[in-house]
Amino acid sequence: MSVVVTPDPQLAQWHTFGLPAIADALIEVHSLAELIEAYQLPQFAEKPKLILGGGSNVVFTEDFAGLVIVNRIMQRQVTEQSDSWSLHLGAGENWDEVVRWCIEQSYFGLENLALIPGTVGASPIQNIGAYGVEMSDFCDYVEYLDLDTMEPVRIEAAECQFGYRDSVFKQRLAGKAVIIAVGLRLPKVWQPVLEYGPLQQLKQQAELTAHTIYQQVVAVRQSKLPDPQVLGNAGSFFKNPLISNSQYQELLQQYPELPGYSDGDQVKVPAGWLIDRCGLKGFAIGGAAVHQQQALVLVNTGAATATDLRSLANHVIATVKAKFDIGLHPEVRVVNGQGQLEWRDDQ
Instruction: Answer yes or no: are the C-beta atoms of 96 and 56 closer than 8 Å.
Output: no
268-273: which pairs have CB atoms within 8 A and are 24 or more residues apart? Answer: 268/164, 268/240, 268/241, 268/242, 269/240, 269/241, 269/243, 269/326, 270/240, 270/296, 271/236, 271/238, 271/239, 271/240, 271/241, 271/296, 271/320, 271/328, 272/236, 272/296
Q: Determine whether 165 is an active site residue.
A: yes
Question: Per this entry, what is the length of the chain?
Answer: 347
Q: Which of 93, 123, 136, 165 is catalytic?
A: 165
Q: Determine whether 344 is an active site residue.
A: no
Q: Which of 34, 123, 236, 342 is catalytic?
A: 236
Instruction: Answer yes or no: are the C-beta atoms of 238 and 326 closer than 8 Å.
Output: no
Instruction: Answer yes or no: are the C-beta atoms of 314 and 306 closer than 8 Å.
Output: no
Amino acid found at 94: N
Q: Which of 72, 331, 333, 342 is catalytic?
A: 331
DSSP 253-295: HH-TT---EEETTEEE--HHHHHHHTT-TT-EETTEEE-SS-T
Residues 62-93 as b/e (b if ≥16 CB within 10 A, e otherwise) read ebbebbbbbbbbeeeeeeeeeebbbbbbbbbb
What does the CA dihedral 286, 290, 296, 297 come to, rounded to 10 degrees? -60
Closest by CA position to 336, among listed 63, 69, 7 = 63
The Cα–Cα gap between 131 and 213 comes to 10
Q: Determine whether 28 is an active site residue.
A: no
The Cα–Cα gap between 260 and 225 comes to 21
* Residues classed as catalytic: 165, 236, 331
